Amino acid sequence: MDPEEHVGKAWDRLIRRAARNDHPEAAVALDEMRPRLGPLFRALGGDDGLRIEPAPALPHGARRTLLQSIAGSHRRAELAWTDTQALYLPGRLALFPETALNRDLYLWLAALAALGDALPAGSSWLARGPELAHRALRRLPGMRPRYERLVSAYLPLRPDPGKLPAGEAAAEQTVRAALTDPGTAVSIPAAKRPPAPVALWLHPSPPEEQAPVAASDAGEGAEPSSEGETRDLEDRRRRRGERVAMPERDKGLLLFRNAESIWSWSEFVNVDRPTEEDEDLEAAADAADDLDLLSLSRDNKRTASRLRFDLDLPSEANDDTPLGGGILLPEWDYRRDALRPDFCRLQPMVAEDAPPAELPEGLRSTARRLRGQFRQLTPTRTWLAGQPEGTEVDLDAYQHFVAERAAGAATEDPALYRDLRPGDRDIASLLLADLSLSTDTWVNSRARVIDVIRDSLYLFSEALTATGDRFAIYGFSSRKREHVRYHVLKEFGERYGGRVRGRLAALKPGFYTRMGAAIRQSIRLLAGQPASHRLLLLLTDGKPNDMDRYEGRYGVEDTRMAVREARRMGLQPFCVTIDRDAEDYLPHLFGSRGYVVIRTPEELPRRLPHLYAQLTR
């Protein structure tokens, strides 16, 4: 490394470290707080359809310290706000030197967000913040001690009014007064710069550029504990974007009236879907992170990416065989609050050309052990005494009958027999497996998600064959509403054997995850089974989504309605997932006891049969 570059990097690290005003040793991550924030938000009346997401860091325009200006940090702050899709909170809070206070701040912001719909969405955050805080303290008096602790610890962290210009000092004094007494009216004096962001207030709506915003100081100046944590958090943050016209490419040089205007210039980059031919994608991601606003436009030129996507579709010769012309199914539109009839076309498919297969060698010992364990679930044959018909005479019943007849009280139709009959285990189960493209990702260096799912289906089938329970297995993926693929792996009444194992061996990742349609077709199949207990088991690695508008809130609400339809039909829906963020949305879909998250995907094949045993015990 060049000595000048080495000195420059050391100087940059030194200045940035000196400019920091957070407390990494007391940091609290949003992922750590999710199990508490979700129930609190919904218990206080928050929209249970909103997921909790890390907020983007946006420019606030407030005055920074000299060290922060030299370091080029603290230009942005993470806001707390809601829209129709999610509740956005800082991805990491290290504002206070005490971990308990950072946790309290998360809880306070979640409480504010739960009460936020009552105020106009277009109001200024400087007016909305104190008003909403006042309302929260009035409705939630138990929050007042927490709020007072937060204010006492937060005011010393605010800019010193004595070191600010007159207009900005007056604005800061007004903000401090509103924090101390949220019931007071707020009127911010005119100043060259807006006040510093207020970590204890909520932004009223998706923020606009150059607006002063409420957020924690855990923005650009706060550094997560590791590089991996930084990238993971950035990948899950919501970016701000706008749609613009495609820029002309034959323009000449840009001229600036002032020399400093060059710092406001943003570069146009032609970015398409990434392909294997793309170079330096990490550098492109870093460049996107440096932009305050991503401007998106549609290029009408034909590119290889479209051709590449079409080539990813399997040819008819290599695809599963369609069964019939497709099935029309409804879909729930939460915005219309109505079910749209015949909106999706589901296509049943079967791998008829898949050769029969044996159980993989690596699963045979586990399957042997599972079969032995699950045979214990098979109902034992028991003697039923006092029957009018049977295979043997019930001596106790006969003696009782003789004694009663001698006493003159014998019945006309005595039950003098006993019969050996099987126990009662009347169960039908349908396992629906997500085969979307996300299952092509690697769990470890040896296996992909689709491989883990395939092994799970093998062992699930082996275990249920030992009990004698009726079961069926289907897989699904989708490509828009007109092409929902529904793979027949094992039907009810079909014997589990080499042909079924061959279909399982032929499994491959598909496209997207239109869950609602697949669940509705599974409901139709399972509801037709004459069983007292009918279990619909969904196996997935992510949330509902598709190429069209079936994403975010729309897909979640349609899936939730399909689950409710299953329950109305007397079925028991249950979800098994390996998605680490599933606890944000699965309680809304399946209820607090209707799902389980497998933290380590490799454990899924072993845990799935035992989970079935617990559900059908």
Q: What is the DSSP string of 585-597?
A: THHHHH-TTSEEE
CATH number for the domain that contains residue 509: 3.40.50.410
- Whether residue 261 is predicted with pLDDT greater than 80 in this model: the reply is no
> Considering the domain boundaries, does residue 401 fall inside one?
yes
Same domain as 348, residue 231: no
Same domain as 610, residue 588: yes
Residue-averaged pLDDT of the chain: 79
With tokens 């296996």, the residue in question is 447
With tokens 């409901």, the residue in question is 523
pLDDT of residue 227: 45
Residue range of the domain that includes 436: 340-374+425-615
552 pLDDT tier (thresholds 50, 70, 90): confident
Same domain as 460, residue 393: no
> Considering the domain boundaries, does residue 308 fall inside one?
no
Mean pLDDT of 231-237: 52
Q: Tell me the C-alpha distance between 379 and 426, whole Å.
A: 10
Domain count of the fold of the chain? 3
Same domain as 109, residue 203: yes
* 210, 235, 260 - which closes a domain: 235
Same domain as 83, residue 40: yes
- Whether residue 137 is predicted with pLDDT greater than 60 in this model: the reply is yes
Query: Going edge to edge, which strands form the sheet with 417-421?
Result: 382-387, 417-421, 392-393
Same domain as 516, residue 568: yes
Same domain as 194, residue 67: yes
> Considering the domain boundaries, does residue 367 fall inside one?
yes
266 pLDDT tier (thresholds 50, 70, 90): very low
Same domain as 176, residue 150: yes
- Whether residue 197 is predicted with pLDDT greater than 90 in this model: the reply is no
Same domain as 465, residue 391: no
Helix (H, G, I), strand (E, B) or coil at 172: helix
Same domain as 468, residue 368: yes
> Considering the domain boundaries, does residue 549 fall inside one?
yes
- Whether residue 35 is predicted with pLDDT greater than 50 in this model: the reply is yes
- Whether residue 217 is predicted with pLDDT greater than 60 in this model: the reply is no
Mean pLDDT of 39-56: 83
Q: Tell me the C-alpha distance between 227 and 239, whole Å.
A: 20
> Considering the domain boundaries, does residue 313 fall inside one?
no
- Whether residue 269 is predicted with pLDDT greater than 90 in this model: the reply is no
Two tokens, residue 156: 């010393």
Two tokens, residue 610: 């035992």
Q: Which residue type does 51 have? A: R
Per-residue pLDDT tens for 86-122?
Answer: 888 999 999 999 999 999 999 999 998 888 654 454 5
Strands 427-434 and 533-540: parallel
Same domain as 408, residue 430: no
> Considering the domain boundaries, does residue 259 fall inside one?
no
Mean pLDDT of 591-601: 89
Q: Where are the strands (E) in 320-387, listed by range?
A: 321-322, 327-333, 338-350, 382-387
Least Cα distance to 526 among 462, 451, 469 occurs for 469
Q: Tell me the C-alpha distance between 365 and 462, whole Å.
A: 11
> Considering the domain boundaries, does residue 312 fall inside one?
no
Specify burial of residue 228 (Cβ count, 10 A radius: 0-12, 13-18, 19+): exposed
Q: Which residue type does 164 have? A: L
Three-state SS string across 384-432, please? Answer: EEEECCCCEECHHHHHHHHHHHHCCCCCCCCCCEEEEECCCCCEEEEEE
- Whether residue 259 is predicted with pLDDT greater than 50 in this model: the reply is no
pLDDT of residue 566: 96
- 108, 466, 505, 536, 612 from 533: Cα distances, Å: 44, 18, 29, 10, 12
Dihedral of alpha carbons 74, 289, 238, 103, sign: negative
Mean pLDDT of 321-335: 90
Q: Tell me the C-alpha distance between 429 and 538, whole Å.
A: 11
Cβ distance 122 to 204 under 8 Å? yes
Q: Tell me the C-alpha distance between 531 and 254, whole Å.
A: 74
Mean pLDDT of 262-268: 46
Q: Where are the strands (E) in 60-128, listed by range?
A: 76-79, 81-82, 86-89, 92-93
∠ at Cα 42 (37, 46), nearest 5°? 110
285 pLDDT tier (thresholds 50, 70, 90): low
Higher pLDDT, 190 or 108: 108
Pick the range with the lowest mean pLDDT from 139-153, 275-289, 343-357. Answer: 275-289
- Whether residue 540 is predicted with pLDDT greater than 70 in this model: the reply is yes
pLDDT of residue 148: 92
Per-residue pLDDT tens for 330-368?
Answer: 999 998 899 999 999 999 999 988 999 999 999 999 999
Specify burial of residue 136 (Cβ count, 10 A radius: 0-12, 13-18, 19+): buried
- Whether residue 411 is predicted with pLDDT greater than 70 in this model: the reply is no
Higher pLDDT, 400 or 438: 438
pLDDT of residue 339: 94
* 421, 452, 487 - which closes a domain: 421
Mean pLDDT of 143-152: 92
> Considering the domain boundaries, does residue 14 fall inside one?
yes
239 pLDDT tier (thresholds 50, 70, 90): low
Q: Side-chain half-sphere of 80: how many Cα atoms within 13 Å? A: 29
Dihedral of alpha carbons 281, 284, 289, 293, sign: negative
- Whether residue 65 is predicted with pLDDT greater than 70 in this model: the reply is yes
- Whether residue 260 is predicted with pLDDT greater than 50 in this model: the reply is no
Q: Tell me the C-alpha distance between 575 and 556, whole Å.
A: 14
Q: Where are the strands (E) in 157-236, listed by range?
A: 215-216
Within 8 A by CB and 6+ apart from 393, the residues are 416, 417, 418
Counted residue by residue, the chain has a size of 617
Same domain as 412, residue 345: no
Q: Tell me the C-alpha distance between 167 and 212, whole Å.
A: 15
Least Cα distance to 269 among 236, 303, 246 occurs for 246
What percentage of the chain reaches a pLDDT higher than 70? 74
Strands 28-29 and 327-333: unpaired
**60 phi/psi in degrees, rounded to 5:** -115, -20
Q: Tell me the C-alpha distance between 78 and 56, whole Å.
A: 6
Cβ distance 402 to 394 under 8 Å? no
* 220, 235, 250 - which closes a domain: 235
